[in-house]
C-alpha cells in the first residue's frame, strides 16, 4: 500500500501546468533549435514574431515535464488539423536579442527579413514606430496616410503619436477618406523606401484605408489623444467623425460579444490585467464576465476586485486596451466574433 500512496502523493505534489498558448509556442520553438525556429518564423509576420520573442525572453526555469506537455499537445493538434495558419505585424529586433543573445538574434532576424520578398512598405512593419515616423515625416500627407493604412492599426497608432497635433488630424482624416490605391502609387512609394531597405517591388492594386481603418487606429491611441482627435474631426466633418466613432470597438462593447467569445477571450487574459480592466467597467459588463467563468473563479475575481483599493485611471485604461488588443487579434484570427459599433469609454 505504501508504494501506491507515495506515487499518489508525488502526483499530487507535481505542479500544475498553466501555460498560455503563446508560452507553449515559445517553448516549442526554443526546443526545436535556432535553424528550425528560423524557418518557422519566416512564415510569420512581425506581430507574431514579436509576441513569441517576448515570451521567449520571459521564460525561466522551464521544467522537463512542461516541455513534454507542450510537445504532446502540439502533436495532438497536428494530428487533428490539415494545416497550420500563420498571420502578420510589428517589430522584434530587441525582443530576439534579449531572448537569444545578439549574435544568434542577428542571424535569425536577417533570415526572417530577407527570406521572403520583403517590399519597402513591408519592411516598415519591422521597424520601431519612432523610426517610421521619422522616415515619413517629410512626405506628402497623402503618402503618410497610405503608409498608415497599409500598416497594422496598433503600429500606426504609435506612429501617429510622434506627429504634431495638426498632422495627426490631417492624416487620420485622409486615412478615413482612402478607398483604393493605384498600383503606380504603391510602386513609387516602394521605390522610395527600397532605396533605404532591401526588398523587391511589385505592388498590386490594394484596397486600404476607409472609416474602419481610421477607427482601428483611433482605438489604439491613448484615450486623451483619441478624444482630442475625435472632437477635432467632428468639428471639421461631423458625418466622418460619427461614422468613425460608430466603428470603434471599445471596452464597453464586450457586452455585445457572445458568451462563447467571452469564454475564449478570458483564457488569454491574465488575472491581474482582468482585475484592473474591470475596475473601470460598469456592473452589467462585470456580471457578463462573472457568468462566463466557473463559480469558484467568479467568486475569487469578485473578492479580488473588492480587495483591490483605488487604482489610477491610466492603469485601468492600459489594462482595458490590453484586453481589447487581445480581443481584436482573436477576432482577426476568426477565434471570436465582435459585436456592433462602439461608444466612447467612460
In 3D space, the residue among 141, 124, 95, 111 whose CA is nearest the CA of residue 40 turns out to be 111
Q: Tell which wins on pLDDT, 171 or 14.
A: 171
Q: Is the pTM of this model over 0.75?
A: no
Pairwise CA distance, residues 124 & 155, whole Å: 10
In 3D space, the residue among 255, 136, 127 whose CA is nearest the CA of residue 199 turns out to be 127
Pairwise CA distance, residues 181 & 143, whole Å: 11
**pLDDT at position 200 over 80:** no
Residue 292 pLDDT level (bands cut at 50, 70, 90): very high
Task: Of 36-40, 170-174, 176-180, 197-201, give the lowest mean pLDDT range.
Answer: 197-201
For the segment 338-345, the average pLDDT, to the nearest whole number, is 44
Residue 207 main-chain phi, psi, to 5 deg: -80, 130
Task: Of 96-105, 182-191, 302-311, give the lowest mean pLDDT range.
Answer: 96-105
- Spell out the alpha helix ranges (H) of 195-312: 211-219, 223-236, 238-247, 259-266, 271-279, 283-291, 295-307
Q: Tell which wins on pLDDT, 56 or 145.
A: 145
- Spell out the alpha helix ranges (H) of 81-221: 93-100, 102-114, 120-124, 129-136, 141-150, 153-160, 165-177, 183-194, 211-219
The pLDDT value given to residue 289:
92
* Residue ranges, CATH 1.10.220.30, the chain: 119-247, 251-332
Distance linking the first and last C-alpha atoms of the chain: 62
Q: Please, are residues 30 and 37 in contact by the beta-carbon 8 Å criterion?
A: yes
For the segment 35-52, the average pLDDT, to the nearest whole number, is 75
Residue in the structure block whose three cell numbers are 520601431: 128
For the segment 57-70, the average pLDDT, to the nearest whole number, is 79
Pairwise CA distance, residues 330 & 260, whole Å: 13
**pLDDT at position 83 over 50:** no
Contacts (Cβ under 8 Å, ≥6 apart) of 33? none
The pLDDT value given to residue 339:
56
Residue 78 pLDDT level (bands cut at 50, 70, 90): low
Just give the CATH number of 16-110.
1.10.220
Q: Please, are residues 122 and 193 in contact by the beta-carbon 8 Å criterion?
A: no
Pairwise CA distance, residues 91 & 115, whole Å: 16
Residue 67 pLDDT level (bands cut at 50, 70, 90): confident
In 3D space, the residue among 233, 247, 324 whose CA is nearest the CA of residue 285 turns out to be 324
pLDDT in tens, 306-318: 888 888 888 888 8
For the segment 23-38, the average pLDDT, to the nearest whole number, is 80
Q: What is the fold of 251-332?
A: Annexin V; domain 1 (1.10.220)
Q: Please, are residues 155 and 90 in contact by the beta-carbon 8 Å criterion?
A: yes
Pairwise CA distance, residues 316 & 275, whole Å: 9
Contacts (Cβ under 8 Å, ≥6 apart) of 215? 244, 245, 247, 248, 249
Give the helix/strand (H/E) hosting 2: helix 2-13
Residue 290 pLDDT level (bands cut at 50, 70, 90): very high
The pLDDT value given to residue 224:
76
In 3D space, the residue among 309, 275, 307 whose CA is nearest the CA of residue 290 turns out to be 275
Pairwise CA distance, residues 277 & 293, whole Å: 16
What value does the mean pLDDT of the chain take? 74
Pairwise CA distance, residues 340 & 346, whole Å: 18
Task: Please tell us whether the domain made up of 119-247 is placed in CATH 1.10.220.30.
Answer: yes
Q: Tell which wins on pLDDT, 46 or 344.
A: 46
Q: Tell which wins on pLDDT, 206 or 134.
A: 134
Amino acid at each position: 500500500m505504501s508504494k501506491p500512496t507515495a506515487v499518489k502523493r508525488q502526483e499530487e505534489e507535481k505542479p500544475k501546468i498553466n501555460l498560455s498558448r503563446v508560452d507553449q509556442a515559445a517553448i516549442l520553438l526554443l526546443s526545436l533549435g535556432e535553424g528550425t525556429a528560423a524557418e518557422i518564423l519566416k512564415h510569420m509576420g512581425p506581430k507574431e514574431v514579436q509576441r513569441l520573442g517576448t515570451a521567449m525572453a520571459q521564460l525561466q526555469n522551464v521544467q522537463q515535464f512542461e516541455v513534454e506537455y507542450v510537445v504532446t499537445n502540439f502533436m495532438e493538434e497536428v494530428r487533428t488539423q490539415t494545416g497550420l495558419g500563420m498571420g502578420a505585424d510589428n517589430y522584434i529586433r530587441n525582443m530576439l536579442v534579449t531572448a537569444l543573445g545578439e549574435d544568434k538574434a542577428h542571424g535569425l532576424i536577417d533570415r526572417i527579413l530577407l527570406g521572403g520578398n520583403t517590399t519597402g512598405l513591408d519592411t516598415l512593419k519591422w521597424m520601431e514606430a519612432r523610426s517610421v515616423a521619422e522616415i515619413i515625416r517629410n512626405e506628402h500627407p497623402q503618402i503618410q496616410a497610405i503608409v498608415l493604412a497599409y500598416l497594422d492599426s496598433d503600429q500606426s497608432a504609435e506612429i501617429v503619436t510622434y506627429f504634431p497635433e495638426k498632422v495627426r488630424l490631417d492624416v487620420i482624416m485622409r486615412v478615413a477618406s482612402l478607398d483604393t490605391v493605384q498600383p503606380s502609387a504603391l510602386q513609387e512609394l516602394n521605390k522610395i523606401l527600397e532605396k533605404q531597405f532591401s526588398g523587391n517591388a511589385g505592388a498590386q492594386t490594394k484596397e486600404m484605408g476607409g472609416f474602419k481603418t481610421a477607427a482601428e487606429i483611433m482605438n489604439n491611441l491613448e484615450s486623451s489623444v483619441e478624444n482630442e482627435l475625435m472632437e477635432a474631426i467632428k468639428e471639421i466633418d461631423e458625418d466622418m467623425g460619427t461614422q468613425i466613432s460608430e466603428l470603434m470597438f471599445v471596452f464597453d462593447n464586450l457586452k455585445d460579444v457572445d458568451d462563447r467569445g467571452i469564454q475564449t477571450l478570458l483564457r488569454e487574459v491574465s488575472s491581474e490585467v482582468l482585475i484592473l480592466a474591470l475596475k473601470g467597467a460598469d456592473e452589467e459588463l462585470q456580471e457578463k464576465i462573472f457568468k462566463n467563468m466557473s463559480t469558484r473563479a467568479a467568486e475569487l475575481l469578485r473578492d479580488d476586485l473588492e480587495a483591490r483599493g483605488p487604482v489610477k485611471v491610466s492603469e485601468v485604461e492600459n489594462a482595458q486596451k490590453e484586453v481589447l488588443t487581445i480581443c481584436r487579434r482573436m477576432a482577426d484570427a476568426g477565434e471570436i466574433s465582435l459585436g456592433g459599433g462602439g461608444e466612447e469609454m467612460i
